[in-house]
Amino acid sequence: MLSRITRPAASALASNIKRPLTLRNHARPFATVDGNTPRVQPTPPRTRATPISHDRATFTIRDGPVFNGKSFGAKSNISGEAVFTTSLVGYPESLTDPSYRGQILVFTQPLIGNYGIPSAARDENGLLRYFESPNLQAAGVVVADVAEHYSHWTAVKSLGEWCAEEGVPAVSGVDTRAIVTYLRERGSSLARITIGEEYDADQDEAFVDPEQINLVHKVSTKAPFHISSSTGDAHIAVIDCGVKENILRSLVRRGASVTAFPYDYPIHKVAHHFDGVFITNGPGDPTHCQDTVYHLQKLMESSQVPIMGICLGHQLLALGAGARTIKLKYGNRAHNIPALDLTTGRCHITSQNHGYAVDSATLPSDWKEYFVNLNDSSNEGIIHKSRPIFGTQFHPEARGGPLDSSYLFDTYLESVGRYKRSQAIFQPKRDSRPSPLLVDLLAKERVGVVPTTGMENLLRMGEAGEQAAAAARAA
């Protein structure tokens, strides 16, 4: 045990993580080690919570139509990017997906909320069973009709109660068909939700564009965290750009322990301690993550480790390879989008949530297109021609949605196994498993991620910063 704790590889990794340690007097000489310690979720402060508002509500699209409805969530005014999803089910998973940070989510399904909101129960790995992150991530919710009375064996509260607790405004009684028609014709647009006030055209300048903000920084863990697997010995480094719980679950259940790092962590400096690198989903414009792109470039130059990316992770992988990304007119957000595997000719029905895509025409010669969207012909995946590196724009882990493409996790972990075995030939004493001490020291869930507060608060924070800077210059 002691040799495992003090072996050089673990010490090097711990030094790279740079976790501050405070030693007082005779601090414990040997850490209490338990790889199966349950992950305990601290209760987040509910400073954003408000009583459920049933006031008049206005949903306003900038330079577009105004829709009057009724509030059923928090009494809070926000702005963000209006996007729509055609998903029929899975609203708890969608609303807790960090990829929706900064967006007002419009549901095309006429009735939302009929099966309520489940509890924050966790599975045997300490991961949330029914949510994709601990908090509601969307800036606002817009539906045609909301079910105030719910019925489901897992439900513990209504959608309205949940939105109010999370400080997220929600609007019902609007014509979502007209909203979606407008967004399809004009593209994703900036919008506002105003509770209890009349629309004022002079307020148009208050619209905040979340695409101008590095949203990944807001949803990524601020320090490494670790989840152990009891069924295998692989160890994966996860670059957390806003990871969904089911991505972590899909890896852990297949026998891979995961250590998740902040999105801008220099992963190329510690990749040799791991059997694979995984880049997760996340919100916003991938070009905001220049540090991540640089680190991925260095990683692919210096290591043969298998790499897989999903959604934003797929886009960052492409940028690291030298390709470009483009913003789609209104994106793809649904659970029934067909993607063609160009290597097999098979079509998969996929779950998607993205507003950007990789421009496959800009891929370097050692890369090729892997999947293509059969609806709009946009890129859905890339793969390296000779190395175990690939990415998918869609979500193989679903939640919600079909699991047609979940086999891609198996494909990735098979390449991880081959890499691990090849490394054992050249380094017989190599052990990529995390040291028990490191497991004990690291957090067991994402660290320091602040719940969504809507774009209004971000605007106020920006204004406060500008005023402080102006005062400093004047002084």
Active site residues: 311, 395, 397
Q: Which of 243, 238, 220, 245 is nearest to 274 (CA)?
A: 238
Longest C-alpha distance within the chain, in Å? 71
Q: What are phi and psi of 444, to 5 degrees?
A: -110, 10
The token duo for 104 is: 């007002």
Please list the alpha-helical segments (H only) found in 237-352.
Answer: 245-252, 290-302, 312-321
What distance in Å separates the CA atoms of residue 183 and residue 196, rounded to the nearest whole number?
25
DSSP-derived letter for residue 376 is T
Sheet holding 347-359, edge to edge: 225-227, 256-262, 234-240, 276-279, 307-310, 389-392, 379-384, 367-373, 324-341, 347-359
Gyration radius of the chain's alpha carbons: 23
Contact 343, 370 (CB under 8 A): yes
What distance in Å separates the CA atoms of residue 389 and residue 382, rounded to the nearest whole number?
9
Task: Tell me whether strands 389-392 and 307-310 are parallel, antiparallel or unpaired.
Answer: parallel
Q: Which of 161, 120, 115 is nearest to 141 (CA)?
A: 161
Contact 309, 270 (CB under 8 A): no
